[in-house]
Structure 1
Amino acid sequence: MGGDIDMKLCKRRKNRLRVKNGFKATVAVLLVSGLTISAITFEKEVVHVQAASSEAPRVKAELGSVIALENGDFENPTVTRSANWQTFDANTVPGWQTTASDNQIELQKNNLGGITAQSGTQWAELNAYEVSALYQDIPTTPGEKVRWQVYHRGRYGMDTAVVEFGAPGNVMIQQAEMVDGNEAWGLYTGSYTIPIGQTNTRFQFRSVSAAGGNEAIGNLLDNIQFATQSILDVTGTFSAPSTKMQKSVNYTVRAANMGGMPAANNTFSVKIPVELTYTPGTLSSANTVVTGENYDATTRTLTFQTGTIKKGVAIDVVIPLIGAEVTSAATPDTSVTYNDENFNDETYTADGMDDSVAVTSNEIPTITGEEETILQPNEDFDPMSTMTAQDEEDGDLTAQIQVASNNVDTSQSGIYEVIYEVTDSDGNQATFTRTVIVEEGPVITGDSPTRLNPNVSFDPVSTMQATDKEDGDLTSDIKVVDNPVDTSQPGTYEVLYSVTDSDGNQATFTRTVIVTEAPIITGEEETRLNPNVDFDPMSTMQATDKEDGNLTNEMKVTSNNVDTSQSGTYKVTYEVMDSDGNKAMFTRTVIVTEAPVITGKDTVTLTQGDLFDVMDDLQAADKEDGDLTAQIVVLSSNVNVNVPGTYTVIYRVTDSDGNSTMFIRKVIVKAIVNPVTPQSIVIQPDVSTSERASEKTVLPKTGDRSSLPTGVAGLAFLALSSLLFWHKK
């Protein structure tokens, strides 16, 4: 907790530390080489060696040389092994040395065997791999009184170790014997006065015995102190050199331990000066725990306690205060009583070096201006006119004036109030109320707004009248101050009128004139349709009007001669009217496109086995796209030239408008007719046969020709062969 402090600060504050008067009752006092020890009962009912007293003695505490050992709670180096223990070479353990032959120091951490460190998260085990001692050699000043403490614990049962002091290389003088079980940490404390001539002192812990008989296990040590007394340096500083009445300022009390031992039981007393006030329960600290707060309003004394302050650490406690009386210097009075941690024989008091703060007055700002303002009807009113604001500390605050309320309506005669506010940098607020009187004047009335259709005539004085309470009818005195209306251009215009009564009161009137716009019809100007498709004349069509919004449902088709069964160009006309009677027309061109044409033989006859070109003789043309032959696609074809039959081929072509044309071709595959040989021929020897035999005969399919003698010879050869075959059998 807190940050490190500069030890050099000790020198300039050493005379501000004192020890409270008290009485000492010593129990079983023993003097050994300047050491005072006594037996007491610890809260765990373990007998320890510790200095003890019931009241603090009268001892002069001065800031001399600070003696302190290093790394007393064994937090460095860090144990990283998952087993929760680790041995280190003594050269890597800050401050500590060992008598072990292997020069190893064993550190352990929380949860090893269910043990929790007494301070921090780690501790040391004296019996690392052998029975040994841990020690530090510390430069000391002869005659200095040193406090010491150590927490000891058994590992597996009752372990014993001794505390020994002396000059390095000389015989160590035993200061205490530590005997503890493994259930809790035992505390041992004492005081030691450095002997004459001993400028270096060895502070040593030596293992004597350990439960279980294993020389590598036993005697745990933690939170070791060997140091001169704690010395607190106390300062108080304000967060600002001055504050204002009823404004807060923080007073921070800092206590820095410039001595060696931790400072404990720190009780602070801060007397609050009458020029400042404190609100109980508002103490805070970011680096220590604050407890026991009490504020005595009669004595104006605030007391509280803080946590232990270790050597080289500073703590800060913030006390919020509020300015109560004007003064050039309000100074708190701070002191703290404390003792060395675990030593109640001496109680110290440190007086604080307290800062001062000035408390200045906190005047509220002032607002000045017209308290009553008279206005003519419709006169412009600037609520900030004549208004100013001043503050004693902030100066001119006119720019910060806020109009909190303003209901002035100069078009209506009457009495109004305007309320102003201004706040200075301290949060002080001032208010001001201004009365505004609007006198009565003439009144102009008329039609507003006025809506006009495009290009109509506009008379600016139509419907306008003026009257006055005293003068009566002033219509004839109305003047048109400005008239920008142009009915040829749709838009919103303002016509300004004025009239003045006999008292000079002027009235103005602004008339809004709206020249309306005709609606607009939008949609496809040219629509292309394929033949015979459905046509919705309202498709893509919309009608909107600036005033009426969407008029699509009001749109009418006034002409429509579209016939999608006939290609050609048609016209569709539309009309819509808005609520002002303005009409809009629209003409749409509809083109019914022509489909492409496929030409070719619709029937093709093939002989079985012939080749068939499915695209043979086909052509496609379109009126817009021209030749589309290359775009012809075959949708289906079941032609099999090897099987006689009638087949169908279906073709399609599509033009750029999406129009498609189909074409169906019938394909006939005829069977091959084979030649026929007669089974028997009867030859008649007559003239007619001979004559016919001389005629040529065309053979089926082959186209070959033969003479009768050749046929007769063949038949004779066949008959002879049959006879020989029968005879052989």
Structure 2
Amino acid sequence: MSFLLSIFTFINILTIRIEWFYTEIVVQLGDNIEHYLMIPEAKLYVDDVWIENPLVFYERDGVERTFKSTINTNVTRDYILKYRVTFSAYYVSSVQSITFQVVDEIPPIIDQLPSFLLPVGQKLPLLSEGLFYHDNYDSVLNISVSIDSSSVVLTRTGTYPIIYQIRDGSGNLTEQTSTLTIYDHLPPEITVKKEIQIPYGESLSWRDFFTVKDNYDLVLSVRIDDQYIDYQHLGVYPFSITATDSSGLSTVLFQEVTITDLDPPTILLKSLPAPLSVGSDVSDIYFLSYIVSISDNYDQLDISDVTFHHDIEINVVGTYRIYYMVIDHSGNLAEEELIIKVSDLEAPDITINIPFIYQVFDSEPHLINQFSYSDNYSRMEEMTCKITATYKMNVVGDYPITIEVTDRAGNKTIYRGYIEVKDVHAPMITQLNDIIITDFEQKDLTFYFSTEDNYDPASKISISIDDSNVDYEKIGSYAIHVEATDQSG
């Protein structure tokens, strides 16, 4: 509060002003008020000029029905205490209300901050449990607690911050961070799915026989310790399987594996066996000769280990099967079938019963009646016969003839020969005159004879006379030999 005082003199008028400073005082809770009473002050201005070190008197214990004793620094609130200042040299004074604000600026103290260990997947615990705190002024009931656990993921392992904020009634804040650790407390589970048995030649794969799962991890480290397994020999061997999750928790399971020979032997047969001849002797067939090879993944086998049976009817053309079987030492059975044919492999037989020789001018012959044919399997009516021949019965000569006989199986026999049209009759000789020789000289006696033939003209007939017995120099009767030869000889 300022006062203006006008002093009139005969010379001039002075303007006086009192200005107060530090009229609002912050008092720390519990402090001695005496430490603060001297803080407010007033300054005197004359014609707006500050008067330094004037004679001044303060009334600081309270005026105008305010009292210093009402200020209790142990209770936070605002207290009003009126001050009076007097500048006696200038005959001025001023009363000012001074506000003393008793405040609590000390934050609460956290005596114990809890931390938590929680198995993965569990519910969030009571985070205020284990939290202890106090305040210099407010009771616990008047202190607010805020807990921030928003970053916690209950389904994921890890260490998460828990932020605690403790605020007293004056708004003083204490903040501290604790931790909540989500951990995996359960080791993986290993379950046997089926009997542990592997074929010879394969290694042990845990996925075939075990189910491995974990309460948290989807991907686990699984290791098979198979150092005691002899994969090269059949038998029963111990081994262990270890499953480890990302938290390092492990489960070990000891088991036994049986290595067995599950693969049957392999029989390799000829792909295109030669057909068997119908009517042949079955006992002459070496059935094992149709086996190309016999093998097994473990045992040493040979052809002598193979047994067989068949349904072959050797006297009937058809398709048959030979059944081969072999069993290895583990009892694995291999069976193979070989398809084989019984076929008519022999061609028919052609027999010429009557030679194809004819007298010229004979009637047309029935060639089919002069030969016969037969087959080892086909009946005559099942065979075809084809005769190919061109000949003339009125012309002597050798004419080619081809006979083709084909059985039901397609086997063919071809006979190639000749049809002979012959002149088998000798010429006739006629003596024209008696032969009388009077001059004792040798003569050409052919003029005494004529010839006639059923086929050749006389000009084609040769006459030869053997007169070696005739003595042309001596009278007598002699015999001569006359021979006529036609072109057929």
TM-score (ref. length: structure 1):
0.22
TM-score (ref. length: structure 2):
0.31
Which of these two proteins has the greater Rg computed from alpha carbons?
2
Greater RCO structure (CA 8 Å; 6+ sep)? 1
